[in-house]
Structure 1
Amino acid sequence: MHTENINASTRNGTVCGTLLVMLLQINWASLLHTVLIAAVGAATSFTVSVALGYLQRRFSRKRP
């Protein structure tokens, strides 16, 4: 039973150490740049979709 605790402790230490090293390797400036570019792309896509939907509704009306 004592070896199970050592194995769990070793496993938890290994996982936490690995996550900490990965966290320290992140280039935060690059991550922020990526998030901002993604937000601009999503906003642009949404705006174009709304504008095209408006134009489609406006020009597809049947004229008397």
Structure 2
Amino acid sequence: MATNNFQLKSGVFGGTLLSTVFNISLHDILFTIVMAFIGAVVSFFVSFMLRKLFSDKN
């Protein structure tokens, strides 16, 4: 029974992986990279500004 369960899980995982890989375009990958970069930069500057505003250096 455990082998059958493993075969089912690996079949579902493999099918999902293959169906997604063939549907992702280069445009989607580049868009994701650009959005991740923008998110990281904004997060860094917001953290930096909040640290400056609420710093206890009097």
Asked if Structure 1 and Structure 2 have the same fold, meaning a TM-score greater than 0.5 normalized by the shorter chain, the answer is yes
Q: Which residue of 2 aligns with 1:52?
A: 53
Higher-Rg structure is 1
4+ residue runs over 3 A deviation: 10-14
State TM-score, norm by structure 1: 0.52
Gaps of 5+ in 2: none
CA distance in 2 between partners of 1:41 and 1:57 (Å): 24
CA distance in 2 between partners of 1:50 and 1:12 (Å): 43
The code of the aligned residue for 2:47 comes to F
State TM-score, norm by structure 2: 0.55
Instruction: Output the aligned Cα RMSD.
Output: 2.9
Gaps of 5+ in 1: 59-64
CA distance in 2 between partners of 1:38 and 1:13 (Å): 31
CA distance in 2 between partners of 1:12 and 1:42 (Å): 33
Higher helix share: 1
Q: What is the count of residue pairs matched by the alignment?
A: 51
